[in-house]
Amino acid sequence: MSSITTSPLISLHRFKPSSPFSITQKTRVTHFNWRGERRLTPLCSASPSQAPKEAEGWEEWLKKLPEKKKPIYSHSLPCIEAWLKSLGFYQSLDDRSVWFVEKPNWHAKLSLDITDLYIRYLKSGPGNLEKDIERRFSYALSREDIENAILGGP
């Protein structure tokens, strides 16, 4: 397996062509273990053409989104997931409630909690953040307000 580093956060691993795992896997360095070895979290398991069947049809869910002035709590989970994908987020394989986005000036991790949506702008991404910045948004806020706040960056 070869590794290609695309940023401090992301590595791409390509399996050998002869391998039964002929997919590209994105991973994120999440922490170091007690021996100082990097631990990686898989972010996506396949190229879009090889994506799992449940990922197909997210555009259909995007068409079913309630109007943007409605609170997020009135959206179904598949609609919220389609909305996040349309904004450029991709879902973690380890925790399905965690999403990542990489914009030119910042990287962020979004978590869908029971009562709130959390976004953490990562200092390890581009830009000059001194520390991670976390914001919390109630599901009572409209999709439009949350989208504007998230995409506004840190």
Q: Tell me: do 68 and 136 sit in the same domain.
A: yes
Among 61, 76, 64, 144, which Cα is nearest to 112's? 76
Residue 30 lies in a domain: yes
Residue 52 lies in a domain: no
Q: Tell me: do 41 and 66 sit in the same domain.
A: no
Distance CA 88, CA 79 (A): 14
Domain that holds residue 111: 57-151
Q: Which pairs count as long-range contacts for 117-122, CB under 8 Å and 24+ apart, including other chains?
A: 117/72, 117/146, 119/150, 121/153, 121/154, 122/9
Distance CA 137, CA 27 (A): 27
Q: Tell me: do 25 and 61 sit in the same domain.
A: no
Residue 17 lies in a domain: yes
Instruction: Give the contacts of 79 (CB within 8 A, at least 6 positions apart).
Output: 61, 62, 64, 65, 66
pTM for the full predicted model: 0.64
- Looking at the predicted structure, is the pLDDT value of residue 50 above 70? no
pLDDT in tens, 78-125: 999 999 999 999 999 999 999 999 999 899 999 999 999 999 999 988
> Residue 2 is which amino acid?
S
Number of domains in the chain: 2
Q: Tell me: do 83 and 145 sit in the same domain.
A: yes
Q: Tell me: do 22 and 74 sit in the same domain.
A: no
